[in-house]
Structure 1
Amino acid sequence: MNSPKTEKIDTGPANCLNCGTELKGDFCCHCGQKNKSYQVSLKQLFVDFLGDYFTFDSKFFRSMKPLLFKPGFLTNEYIAGRRIRYIPPLRLYLFISVIFFFILALNPHRAKMVKFGSDPVELSDSTAVADSSAKNGNSAFAFFNDSSKKDTTQKIEASDSTDQQKDRTVKKITDKIKTAEQNEEQVRQNIFNFLPKMFFIMLPVFALILKLLYVRRKIFYACHFIFALHFHSFTFITFGLLFIILGFLENPESPALVGIVTIINSLYLIIAMKKVYQQSLKKTITKFLLLSFNYLIVIAVSMLVFVGIAIYLLK
């Protein structure tokens, strides 16, 4: 006759797994760690991670519906102090941005999305890039060639020391361009690595523009920053869905789809500004246009800076 199986009870370790002190209760008397076995399943590890960093529970789904379909609602709720029901704005932004850049990294046409000027990055002929750029006017490298020509003209009137300094500068630029031509994929990779940082830096700039547009309203800067977090979260969702769709297409360039997503984001921003700042539709649209114009300029300048850094960091 077989004896009944006894169920093994996990009483926890005899010594603290953290500091090694002998355990006499539920908690270590030396470091305070709980007396339990930490051989957890992958499922538990995943749940703990999401719970600690992203509060991935009912709050997430409760936050997504108003974020997607009620522009400005989450911002108003947070400012009004009704915060416990929803994920905090910064956590929401970080979570969605991680998903967005993950989707972007998996897109098979990612390389074609990085452009200099109006054409994709094509750095095939190191000796012809600068000249063709100046003639066609469609490359971000065109200004290097113009600068070289201006420097050549100025050499006649400049001193020898100035000429040498300019020659060294032009040579450094030329060397970096040639390096970029030989490391096309690395340039793209550097740019994609910088994108999350760039967008995070853009958030306070976006909020600052809002602060200047509504300077008479005496609204705290933090409120504008919360608005920026929610709007950019929505933007990441819409463009994330766009990149998923483009990933299944043979031609990743679809002006129609990009135009639709841009219109959706523009309408969302107008409605959100109207709901949060409580001004007339005419004033809201005017400030939307001013915000968009200034923000696009900042984005363009930032992209040029980060592209320059991406090329400069090449070895």
Structure 2
Amino acid sequence: MAGEKQICKNCETEFNADFNFCPNCGQKAKDDLTIGVLFYNTISNYFSFDARFFKSVIPLLLKPGYLAKTFVQGKRLLYLHPAQLYLFVSVIFFFILSITVVNRQVETLDNTLQKTAGKPLFSETEENLAKLVDTAQVDSVMQVLKEKNPEIAKQTNLKSIDSLIKAENGNQSLKKGFTWGFDQKKIDSLIAIDAPKSEIYKAMGMSDDASWFSKKIHAQLLKLYKQRNGGQLLKAVYDTIPISLFILLPIFALLLKMFFYKRGPYAYHLVFSFYFYSFLFTVFSIMLIANEIVKIPGFINFLFMLSTFIYLLIAVKRFYEKGWFNSFFKTSLITGIYFLFVIPIAAIILTLVGFMSF
């Protein structure tokens, strides 16, 4: 009815009852709390998950460069903001990655390390025989062993004995599989008697005048050796990737700025990068889900990866308004520099940070 008033539950402003939203704070007039409202508001507030998201997905996937060009031209309310789209899509991607790839790899690595890292280099039989004979005697000793005790002979590796004899100290490190790079028996004995960590580090090869960084490396290596949790190390590396992308993405935009320096300020190239990375995360998410449902042949996955370069090429041509040859040449150079220099350096840094923090 005309003239009726209602009070906003948020700011307590009085306004007409036929208003759908409070004219002061903008809160919905009749906003009954339901499960749907709760989760919609949460997603909408933190990820801007509204109608603009659905309007943005189709052009993001099918019209390379369109969203970036539209945004820099000033049409900034029709589609989702590039940073918001990137944030939302990246969260979805890393969630899918964690439940499909990361958890499986962590478990596999832990199991492998538990099974192989603690195995002795050689069997006791091989070590004892190596101490008693020289290389010239191996064949004759093995012949006698086969006649006297065939079962032990079957368990004895002739090549292993020969390698042990030829080693300078009779204990050549020819371990099949993972090797720690230090004397495990000595480290195990020091751990068993609860020796000071400084003594254990020296037994691992750390010098007396080691730097803080070297001490930290040895401390983490000892932690990994004692816990055999290589999977957690891998998980720590994966956990650093989302943070690293806040550095890698601006570097990609910087490369674009270097090759297309006349095409607007750095912010223009950053907008392009946000939308391109959003496309990458969307495609990779689709690939992960598809591979979980059906085992996709390798060449199909390769075509998916190739499509990202083709997408980038078309996006560059449309956004920077260059010819096909110019676009292809610069896109190839940017991609080459990024994969040959930026990503390898980033991978090394990620592994180091993950190792130091796991």
* Distance apart, 1:281 and its partner CA: 1.3
Of 183-192 and 98-107, deviating more is: 183-192
**Corresponding residue to 2:266 among 196, 199, 221:** 221
**Paired residue secondary structure (2:33):** coil
**Paired residue secondary structure (1:164):** coil
**Corresponding residue to 2:326 among 275, 283, 288:** 283
- Tell whether the 8 Å contact from 1:12 to 1:37 is kept in structure 2 after alignment: no
Q: Which amino acid aligns with 1:54?
A: F
Query: Structure 2 matches for 1:64-103, cutoff 5 A?
Result: 64-103=57-96
Distance in 2 (CA, whole Å) between partners of 1:213 and 1:278 is 13
- Tell whether the 8 Å contact from 2:82 to 2:275 is kept in structure 1 after alignment: yes
Q: Which amino acid aligns with 1:275?
A: R
Distance in 2 (CA, whole Å) between partners of 1:24 and 1:221 is 44
Distance 1:201 1:260, change over 3 A: same
The aligned residue for residue 256 of structure 2 is 210
The alignment status of 1:194 with 2:240, answered yes or no, reads yes
The alignment status of 1:298 with 2:342, answered yes or no, reads yes
Q: Which amino acid aligns with 2:93?
A: F
- Tell whether the 8 Å contact from 1:12 to 1:35 is kept in structure 2 after alignment: no
Distance in 1 (CA, whole Å) between partners of 2:244 and 2:95 is 16
Distance in 2 (CA, whole Å) between partners of 1:110 and 1:222 is 34
Distance 1:268 1:208, change over 3 A: same
Q: Which amino acid aligns with 1:298?
A: V
Q: TM-score, normalised by structure 2?
A: 0.62
* Distance apart, 1:180 and its partner CA: 3.0
Distance in 2 (CA, whole Å) between partners of 1:60 and 1:66 is 11
Of 265-274 and 255-264, deviating more is: 255-264
**Structure 2: tracts of 5 or more residues without a match:** 1-5, 16-24, 120-172, 183-205
**Structure 1: tracts of 5 or more residues without a match:** 1-10, 27-31, 129-133, 146-161
Of 192-201 and 88-97, deviating more is: 192-201
The aligned residue for residue 236 of structure 1 is 281
Q: Deviations over 1:175-226 (max 9, x none)?
A: 42343352222112212221211122211111011111112x1521000000
Q: Deviations over 1:260-280 (max 9, x none)?
A: 221010100000001011112
Distance in 1 (CA, whole Å) between partners of 2:270 and 2:211 is 45
Q: Deviations over 1:209-251 (max 9, x none)?
A: 1111112x1521000000000000000011001111222357x
- Tell whether the 8 Å contact from 1:180 to 1:311 is kept in structure 2 after alignment: no
Residues matched between the structures, number: 263
Distance 1:135 1:95, change over 3 A: farther
Distance 1:46 1:290, change over 3 A: same
Distance 1:112 1:255, change over 3 A: farther
Q: Which amino acid aligns with 2:288?
A: F
Q: Looking at CA atoms only, which structure, 1 or 2, has the larger radius of gyration?
A: 2
- Tell whether the 8 Å contact from 2:109 to 2:230 is kept in structure 1 after alignment: no
Q: Which amino acid aligns with 2:241?
A: L
The aligned residue for residue 150 of structure 1 is none
